[in-house]
Each structure stands twice: as structure tokens, then as C-alpha cells.
Chain A
Amino acid sequence: MKIKEVVNLLNAKIVSGEYLLDTEAEFVFASDLMSDVLTIEKDNLMLITGLANLQTIRTSEMSDINKIIFVRKKKATDEMIQLAVENDIILIECDYSMFKTAGILYQSGLKPVY
């Protein structure tokens, strides 16, 4: 599924990496715990998280996560956006809960890591 479809389905807003709207998403992991995220081996992963701080972006940089959806109306700061731009990471802000976000994407065919 293309990122622009994800954005549409979630009624969300892309705040970094607009030029990557045609990128494909396939595997998704949802967590607020970066300790957990760092144990995932899959590359080019999409992360759903309610944790919006600089370490969310750093963790993604190290884990080769190139798409992040912030749920529960969490917003990316300028500093986070800057770091995401440096690393070609797509940032999406979504007003839905983590459960609803994950449910919609799962139903639309995106895959879990395990």
C-alpha cells in the first residue's frame, strides 16, 4: 500500500517526507516502547506510536524504520522533523487512537511483524 493511501485511510497529515508519498508500506509495528522497537529485525518498517520525542526518531534511524505514524493527536516538534528529514523518514500525524489506527491498517492488508 502506498503512503498516500495510508494518509487517506487515517484522515491523517504528513509532516515530513511529502516527496515519499508514493513509497510502499508493507510491515507495521505498533508500540510506545522504544526498548521493544529496537528488538525488531525487519527493515523498512512502519511504526505506529504515541511516543513523540527525539528518541522516537533516533530509534527509527537505528532500526531502519522509515515511516512513523504518531497517533492520539501527538505532534512532531521542529527538532524531530529536522532529524526525520536528515534520515528520509516519513512522519504522519493522526488523531485516531493506536487501536483504531492499527485496526484500519490491518484490515487494509498491511502486515504484522509477528
Chain B
Amino acid sequence: MHFEFNIEGGNFSKAGTASSQLKKILKQLNVDPKVIKRVVVALYEAEVNVVAHAYTGQIFIDIDTNKIEIKLVDEGPGIPNIELAMQQGYSTASPAVREMGFGAGMGLPNIKNNTDELHVASEVGKGTTVKMAIFLIS
């Protein structure tokens, strides 16, 4: 199954709508609730990152019997040092983002924690691509 969603940068009231949709889909597919939580928390973190740090983005989700693959492609400032961004506590979030309850530099490490595969690629001035996978059969 394939699904696509758009993300609006800066629009916090819509942040999480894709994750919410995916949660409903996975529930319908009778996926283990523990796996659902890992998937939707990881996607939500990535979705909020596009809303908080980029201008616009797209989400591509592929679900098959063995795994769930998610790709987020955004147009935005990009990440100059991905290794640094992956470290817990590193954040360039604006005061507005912090007011929303985010910007602690915990999102990328939390995505890593919740997924079986994570790959972040970025070009400064262009945008960022985050690919993640969660296996359904261990």
C-alpha cells in the first residue's frame, strides 16, 4: 500500500495530521499497537521537524507485510552537520517553536530509537530527506 501526504512548513495547527492518518490505517490493518506507537511517534517527530525547520514537505509511506517504509522530503534550509543534529540536545529551534512545546533537540534521536533503519540526507539551502523503516516481522 502506498500513501502520500503534504506538510506545510510553519503550520503547527496541522502538524501531525499525516501521523494521525497513518495511525488509523495501521489500526485497521491490525498492526501490533507497540509497533504502531513506534511508527507514529517517529513520523510525528519527523513531521514536526518539517513544520518547525523547513518550508514545505511531502511524505511517502509504503506498507507491505514485512515492513513500513517512510520517506519525508522537504524544501528548506537543510542541515549543515547531520552528525551534530543527531545528537541529543542539539537544536536550532526558534522561540516560537519552543513555545509550542518543542525544540529540545530530542526528535532525531527519538526517531532513531523508534525505528529499525534511519537515513538522513541533506543539502544546505535546498532541503532534507529523512528515510526510515520499521520491520513488522522480527
Within 8 A of B (CB), among A31-57: 32-36, 38-39, 41, 43, 51, 53-56
B3 to chain A, nearest CB (A): 17
Q: Determine the chain B residues whose CB is within 8 A of the CB of A43 once the complex forms.
A: 33, 37
Q: Determine the chain A residues whose CB is within 8 A of the CB of B103 once the complex forms.
A: 35
Given A38-B110, A54-B13, A58-B20, decide whether A33 and B101 contact each other with a Cβ distance below 8 A.
Answer: yes
- Across the two chains, which residue of chain A brings its CB closest to B104? A35
Taken residue by residue from 1 to 24, chain B's Cβ proximity to chain A (1 for < 8 Å, 0 otherwise) reads as 000000000001101100110010
Q: In the complex the two chains form, is B23's CB within 8 Å of A61's CB?
A: yes
Q: In the complex the two chains form, is A61's CB within 8 Å of B20's CB?
A: yes
A108 to chain B, nearest CB (A): 27
B135 within 8 A of A: no
The count of chain A contact residues (Cβ–Cβ below 8 Å) is 21
B106 within 8 A of A: yes
The count of chain B contact residues (Cβ–Cβ below 8 Å) is 24
B107 within 8 A of A: yes
Q: In the complex the two chains form, is A35's CB within 8 Å of B100's CB?
A: no
Q: In the complex the two chains form, is B15's CB within 8 Å of A55's CB?
A: yes
B55 within 8 A of A: no
CA distance A35 to B120 in the complex (A): 19
- Across the two chains, which residue of chain B brings its CB closest to A61? B20
The one of A34, A41, A64 in contact with B33, judged by C-beta atoms closer than 8 angstroms, is A64
Q: In the complex the two chains form, is B41's CB within 8 Å of A61's CB?
A: no
Q: In the complex the two chains form, is B37's CB within 8 Å of A38's CB?
A: no
The one of A32, A62, A79 in contact with B41, judged by C-beta atoms closer than 8 angstroms, is A62
Given A32-B101, A35-B106, decide whether A55 and B37 contact each other with a Cβ distance below 8 A.
Answer: no
Task: Give 6 CB contacts A-B under 8 Å.
Answer: A32-B101, A35-B102, A35-B104, A39-B106, A61-B16, A62-B37
Contacts A34-B102, A62-B16, A62-B20 known; 10 new A-B pairs at CB < 8 A? A35-B102, A35-B103, A35-B107, A38-B106, A43-B33, A51-B101, A53-B12, A61-B20, A61-B23, A63-B41
